[in-house]
Amino acid sequence: MARVLLNLPRSAAKGAVIEIRTLIMHPMESGFRPGMNGSILPRDIITRFRCSYNGEEVFRAELSPAIAANPFISFTTVATESGTLSFTWEGDNDFRQTETRDIAVT
């Protein structure tokens, strides 16, 4: 399990736009770098990121090797109702990780 940093408010007013910042520890090996023995290191990156709010997708991104190691993605969403935000990262070598955060909307 990779370490994940998630920065979003625990509570928000209904209808407010909240900023969500995500960072996951991942080497994002580009597949273009030679290793110690000179052969090209195989690509190992995160290719997809998805955020859903109470099961409904609100944000999605497709990543490429041009994204820096430990991918940082920041976006916004409207706080519509109390519930759970879930964040899923998927990548090469069957990498898949999901984190959830609860939000209280008043």
- According to CB under 8 A, which one of 7, 76, 93, 100 is a site residue for other proteins? 76
State the minimum distance, in angstroms, from the CB of residue 93 to other proteins.
Answer: 19
Binding mask 24-63 for other proteins (x = CB under 8 A): ------x-xxxxxxxxx------------x--xxxxxxxx
Across 58-83, b (16+ Cβ under 10 Å) vs e yields: bbeeebeeebeeebebeeebebbeee
Q: Is position 86 an interface residue for other proteins (rule: CB under 8 A)?
A: no
Structure tokens at 57: 């997708």
Q: Is position 93 an interface residue for other proteins (rule: CB under 8 A)?
A: no
| Sign of the alpha-carbon torsion through 4, 8, 11, 13 | negative
- The residue ranges that bind other proteins (CB under 8 A) are 17-18, 21, 30, 32-40, 53, 56-78, 80
